[in-house]
Amino acid sequence: MTFKNQYRLEIEGIIETINEYAIEHFIRSYTKQLRQLQLPNDLEMIQVIIDRLVHWYQEHIDDIEQSRFIANKKEHHISYELLIEFQEKLKSYVG
């Protein structure tokens, strides 16, 4: 599967997982923008937003893991891992 197709396949699930937990307006704004952006046309914006979401997960994944109110912890780990994978692949993405 091409990276572009993998991205299209996974990004909606990542967005929904983040939005179930995030209360920060900036994070919710980033996911809203990410939903509208397209590869390869919006590559730079996608890279910036994914970098910011990875940073957000770095700061919150421990809280997510320890919370007794979050039932979908595995989905958060999958989303975090996919974002890290996308972050790496975007560094060399040429479309």
What's the pLDDT score for residue 64? 96
What's the pLDDT score for residue 22? 95
What's the pLDDT score for residue 7? 97
Residue 22's domain comprises: 3-91
Confidence check: pLDDT of 52 > 90: yes
Q: Which long-range contacts (CB under 8 A, 24 or more apart) does 83-87 make?
A: 83/14, 83/50, 83/53, 83/54, 83/57, 84/54, 86/7, 86/50, 87/47, 87/50, 87/51, 87/54
Confidence check: pLDDT of 95 > 80: no
HSE-up of 47 (CA within 13 Å, CB side)? Answer: 12
Residue type at 73?
Answer: K
Confidence check: pLDDT of 94 > 80: no
Please give the tally of structural domains in the chain: 1
Predicted confidence (pLDDT) per residue in 55-85, tens digit = 999 999 999 999 999 999 999 999 999 999 9
What's the pLDDT score for residue 4? 96
38 backbone φψ class: left, alpha, beta (φ>0; ψ -120 to 50): beta
Q: How far is CA 77 from CA 18, 38, 42, 68, 84, in A?
A: 11, 24, 26, 16, 11
Predicted confidence (pLDDT) per residue in 32-46, tens digit = 999 999 999 999 999
What's the pLDDT score for residue 43? 97
